[in-house]
Amino acid sequence: MITYDDDNPRAYTNHWYGIDFRAEPLRYKVGRGEQGVLLAEPYKSEILPNWRFRTPEIARESAALIYDQFVAYLDSGDFVGADMARKFLQMGVTRARRYANHASGKKYAEDGSVLPLEEDRRTSAKAQAAEIFGDFYRRAEYNEHYRDWKQEWKHEFG
């Protein structure tokens, strides 16, 4: 088993394999950004089917569903679920932005050079999807109850 190592964030997320965070929420650490979003069960399996950003319409429906999950987790006293839903909203921003900037989803060419940005990177459907996810992400991130709880959680559990 891989143990937590402050100098190796990958070791931290690998440590999440096989943990049911609903059954053992105190083992959850908030981490940085989207860390662990595709590993933390059962939340990954509950939220991932709703996560889509192909078009602005699909992104709006997806982000709204995930935000509703965020609120439901908060209302049921499930901080880990709320944090994971917030991370999926954040990932909607970053992934849609990646495809807005580079239609292939790849930033680097095989030789390691940076590929050119798309001309329509600020107005494309993926850019619009990123904005939509960003609006819902900010609603979650700046929710007072969530922010207070997140600070308490980080202080107590990491």
pLDDT of residue 3: 45
Total H helices, total E strands in the chain? 6, 0
pLDDT of residue 42: 96
Instruction: Domain ranges for the chain, please list them.
Output: 9-157
How confident is the model over 26-38, as pLDDT tens digits? 999 888 888 888 8
**Contacting residues for 32 by C-beta, under 8 A, at least 6 apart:** 9
How confident is the model over 96-142, as pLDDT tens digits? 999 999 999 999 999 999 999 999 999 999 999 999 999 999 999 99
* CA gap 95, 20 in Å, rounded: 26
Predicted TM-score of the model (pTM): 0.87
- pLDDT, mean of residues 48-71: 98
